[in-house]
Structure 1
Amino acid sequence: MDMSLLNTSRNLIFALSRGALALLATGSFSLIAKDDLAEDPFELALSQEHAGDGQKHWEGKSPEELRVWAKQNLHRKLTAKRTIDAEAHPEWAWFRKAGLGLFLHWGPTSANPATGDAWAMVWSQRKADSGRFMQLPEAMFAVAETWNPENYQPDRWLAAASKAGFAYSVLTTRHHDGYALWPSDHGTWDTGDLMGGRDLVRDYVDASRKNDMKIGFYYSGPNWHYDYKNREFMHPAQKDFQLNYKHERVGKTSKLTPLMALSGPEEQAESIGQVHELMSNYGPIDVIWWDGSVSVSEEELKVLQPNIFVARGNIATPEGGHQGASHNVKVTNEAGWWWESCQKSENSFTPNWHYGVECETNHWDTNTLLTELIRCRSLGGNLLVNVPPRGNGEMMDWFYELCDEMAAWMAHSREATYDVDLDAPLPTLDKTQNYTTKRANVYYSLPDAENAVFIRDVSRPVQVSLLRTGEPLDFTYRDSALRVVVPAAMRTDLPDMVKIVF
């Protein structure tokens, strides 16, 4: 490498670090606390939402009234910080057109398949009562001391994803365990200190560009490794005691740093410096996905990445089946908020966002993923589906099989999910119980369990056909209602969309 270039780069990084510390000291470098962004997935699964009760809470309310109602009645992740004027932000049009993203939870915790997530080092009474696996922080941190993924294959992951219709991906550049997947000059818990300078983020970025995938970075503000011997490892917090890094009960007078909080200005400066590196060292970045208690403001990000889209914390990001139930996200859409459903690709609940051995067998099939995509698009949102790579850098075998099947489906039916209308009002749950996307005067409907489509309050269609083949379908139209049944001979094991032209 040209030594003058290297020295220039080091001086720039040093200057940024000094500047971040100085700005922090003066208070002019704002740090936005988002204590409510991260949740223990085990606790999340036990939560219940208010709007998924079959009632049409969006009826009779203006978007302004509905936003007030939603903030009072829905989970906070079903609400957004602001409404977005699409015409004022053409640089973000790709996000809403795309509809489908791949979430890649990957890091040293992936190499510890008994856990599946950094949250395994966090104790709770309910997890203990249910027999969920928990692990002392030092045991989990020890994995990073030897982790050096020998089969890291981001190019293969994203080549398959791109062909399958995924348009963007989001990689956990730093999760709650605090380990940075690139050689950072801020802190000592990264690939520069423990992996000989290997840059796992660079390989991901290069693979994304090679496969025409938009690039997303997840970044966790909480760093549970930072000064971990003085941090609490219990969630939710209790009134009478705390739990230390050995999972020992200590009194509240111990003054342990709460799990999702920052220990002080030094930890803040480290996070600011790392975010600056991510925003400065890899070229244009399309999405930043915050998680936890720290995020650099959108205005500050714009200086480094003028076109970046701030997802988590700026739009609604419901997680899982409870938060993302159809009646809930219908409210979100009618309120005028953009939204993205974050889903684990599993059939029955585990706390695993990172790889766990259960992920090999407990996973969605192609029909499930496509159906969920259609549901999200019919209600005005995106689907960000998590498929966690193994700890050694390989993707699970079933992912490639699923991508092949998705690619074949997208070849004939992608128009039902890509670049469809997303602004309210949308027909799903109002005019029909079938998941139905639309583009101008065209509806795309997913038949129900009886292979039927029924839509109310519509004009007589000009044409009804099977999207996959273009074959015309018989239909019944009466009293402003349309009914279509897909014959058994035309059906397949994947979503057979009915295209209706009005």
Structure 2
Amino acid sequence: MSTPTLLLATLSCLAPIAAQSQVVPGQSEDGSAASYTDSKTGESITPTIEVRDGKHYYTWPHWHEWKNFKMQMRGERTDHPDAQWWPQAGLGLFMHWGIVSEFEPTGEAWAGRWSQAKVDSGRFHPQSDIWAAAETFNPTKYDADKWMAAAEEAGFTYAVLTTKHHDGYALWDSDHALLGVRQHLDGKDLVQPFVDACRNHNIRVGFYYSGMDWYFERDYMNFSHSPKVLIDYHGKQVKSLPQRPPSFRQAYDEYNQAQVRELIDMFDPDIWWGDGGHGATAEQIREWRPGIVCNNRGEGGDHATAEGFHMAEPQYVKKPVVANGWWWEVNSIITRGSWHYDARPGQTEYIMPSDRLLMELAEARSMGGNLLANIGPRPDGQFPDEAYRLFDDMAQWMKTNRDSVFGINGGGPWPEKCNVPITCRDAVWYFHATKDQATAEDPIVLQDAAEPVSVKLMCTGEELDYTFADQTLTIAIPEGSKAGHVTDVVVVDFGPELDSSPYRFKHW
């Protein structure tokens, strides 16, 4: 069926929903995060600062508007009591999964978007080739309960699954999707097992949903990043593309809204993680599912979404995000390769060291944010083996160190006055150190400190020696007491005399 005919059919079969025209951001832009350093000169790029309504907005001149928006909030977040769990959630598991995972040349969803640089480096693949992977995508070893059982032990409190990515493939048995499990897997629902597993393991349910649907508008869409070059979905350069008919915008909006409403009605998610738009406004989504938490990548939302660990460094988060009173989260790949599974050697089968992941968690929590760590499941439905190595290490760490990242209410002066990130529960502070820190050669150092009442290694309760002179606290863990492959946590109790109010989170 051609797309013009499809539009009429779509309009006639959609459930009645009040149409609210949606702006689909990022449609023609590369969705990846950019560096804060000029690649040609190596110099740091300085953002401009704009003050609007008493809040500071940073804008990086080398980023397009959509990338800058990931670190900005517009409008007020939800005050619904059922949504206020989110700042204390701390740790989420992100899973990009779908037909891109099946496409062996790359796990990059944007591989079908043409640029000369991608062609020159062999990273461009026609979008039609990626869609063809739907013919063979068949996750016969999918065991969502195994995923979530391990995630619960590892300390994850919420999980977000890609119900539909930009390619338009729906993982649930949708009445409205044009491409998905109904068309290719006899309606085998891949979302319900995930939801059930989350509920069984006390994990909040999150849905990633792409407001962009490249399959829906494939006949009209330029698959090139450059407006000067027209590329169709077969990857061929053309002189022109068909014009979208007048009914297109309404059809697109109603199509998206119908899928959003369908997902909410079928599965009752706790989190809506839009990308390239929510598919509906946050106001509509909250009406359909009161108490849901929405990210900021659509019309309205509740929290900023730093993409990649570099975007979540203190100089970019403490001001303006935290200073503006915004909730925030860092979402990042913790493998090599891309967000989806990349079958090439050394890519998604590699999972970052446990120590590094736990330190990234500590850094986010010290600034009052959450970490949403992404692993791409294999196309057969299994997690990479290394994911379970990470989960096992995290589970052991959580048994003794969990309270250093959950149940906290503040963050210490890192990196301004300390060389390691600090989380706080009033006058009790938790110092997080890598395997190479908190040693005699590289001790923990806190300046302008109060004299401690006690200093202990959290995992064992062992009293640690320290020095306190000229308001500087210095702590080293004996070599034989270092954990070695996971993050060490030192607990310092400064006693009831410490005024902890300057360090309490004010954006929660």
- Whether the TM-score (by the shorter chain) exceeds 0.5 is yes
The answer to whether the 8 A contact 2:307-2:332 is kept is yes
The answer to whether the 8 A contact 1:99-1:377 is kept is yes
> Deviation string for 1:380-434 (max 9, x for gaps)?
2110000110001111111112111110000000111112225xx7422233231
Question: Does the C-alpha gap of structure 1 residues 447 and 396 become closer, same or farther in structure 2, counting only changes over 3 Å?
Answer: closer
Q: Secondary structure at the match of 2:56?
A: helix
Question: Does the C-alpha gap of structure 1 residues 246 and 327 become closer, same or farther in structure 2, counting only changes over 3 Å?
Answer: same
Partner residue, 1:474: 465
Question: Does the C-alpha gap of structure 1 residues 125 and 254 become closer, same or farther in structure 2, counting only changes over 3 Å?
Answer: same
Partner residue, 1:124: 115
Partner residue, 1:93: 84
Partner residue, 2:8: none
Question: Does the C-alpha gap of structure 1 residues 431 and 38 become closer, same or farther in structure 2, counting only changes over 3 Å?
Answer: farther
The answer to whether the 8 A contact 2:45-2:60 is kept is no
> Deviation string for 1:342-401 (max 9, x for gaps)?
110135xx3443443343443202111111101111122110000110001111111112
Partner residue, 1:311: 295
Q: Tell me, in whole angstroms, the C-alpha distance in 2 between the residues paired with 1:400 and 1:346.
A: 13
Q: Tell me, in whole angstroms, the C-alpha distance in 2 between the residues paired with 1:63 and 1:470.
A: 48
Partner residue, 2:16: 19
- Whether 1:463 and 2:454 are equivalent positions in the alignment is yes
Partner residue, 2:101: 110
| TM-fit CA distance, 1:479 | 2.3
Matched ranges for 1:49-68 at <5 A: 65=54, 67-68=55-56
Partner residue, 1:333: 322
The answer to whether the 8 A contact 1:31-1:294 is kept is no
Question: Does the C-alpha gap of structure 1 residues 297 and 57 become closer, same or farther in structure 2, counting only changes over 3 Å?
Answer: closer
| TM-fit CA distance, 1:243 | 1.6
Q: Tell me, in whole angstroms, the C-alpha distance in 2 between the residues paired with 1:55 and 1:46.
A: 12
Matched ranges for 1:398-413 at <5 A: 398-413=386-401
Which structure: greater helix fraction? Answer: 1
Q: 2:489 aligns with which of 471, 479, 497?
A: 497
Partner residue, 2:149: 159
Q: Tell me, in whole angstroms, the C-alpha distance in 2 between the residues paired with 1:147 and 1:280.
A: 26
Q: Secondary structure at the match of 2:230?
A: strand
Partner residue, 2:343: 356
| TM-fit CA distance, 1:299 | 1.9
Question: Does the C-alpha gap of structure 1 residues 274 and 328 become closer, same or farther in structure 2, counting only changes over 3 Å?
Answer: same
Question: Does the C-alpha gap of structure 1 residues 360 and 218 become closer, same or farther in structure 2, counting only changes over 3 Å?
Answer: closer
Question: Does the C-alpha gap of structure 1 residues 244 and 78 become closer, same or farther in structure 2, counting only changes over 3 Å?
Answer: same
| One-letter amino acid matched to 2:328 | W
Identity of aligned residues (%): 32
The answer to whether the 8 A contact 1:172-1:218 is kept is yes
Q: TM-score, with normalisation over the residues of structure 2?
A: 0.83
| TM-fit CA distance, 1:103 | 0.3
Question: Does the C-alpha gap of structure 1 residues 305 and 48 become closer, same or farther in structure 2, counting only changes over 3 Å?
Answer: farther
- Whether 1:80 and 2:73 are equivalent positions in the alignment is yes
The answer to whether the 8 A contact 1:96-1:419 is kept is no
| TM-fit CA distance, 1:72 | 7.2
Partner residue, 2:173: 183
Q: Secondary structure at the match of 2:163?
A: strand
Q: 1:269 aligns with which of 249, 254, 259?
A: 254
| TM-fit CA distance, 1:194 | 1.9
Q: Which runs of 5+ in 2 are unaligned?
A: 1-10, 495-508
Matched ranges for 1:79-478 at <5 A: 79-82=72-75, 84=77, 88-129=79-120, 131-235=121-225, 237-238=226-227, 240-251=228-239, 254=241, 263-282=248-267, 284-313=268-297, 314=301, 315-331=303-319, 332-346=321-335, 350-357=337-344, 358-422=346-410, 426-447=412-433, 449-451=436-438, 452-478=443-469
Give the total of aligned pairs: 463
The answer to whether the 8 A contact 1:80-1:338 is kept is no
Q: TM-score, with normalisation over the residues of structure 1?
A: 0.84
The answer to whether the 8 A contact 2:341-2:348 is kept is no
Question: Does the C-alpha gap of structure 1 residues 445 and 171 become closer, same or farther in structure 2, counting only changes over 3 Å?
Answer: same
| CA RMSD in angstroms, aligned pairs only | 3.1
The answer to whether the 8 A contact 2:351-2:390 is kept is no
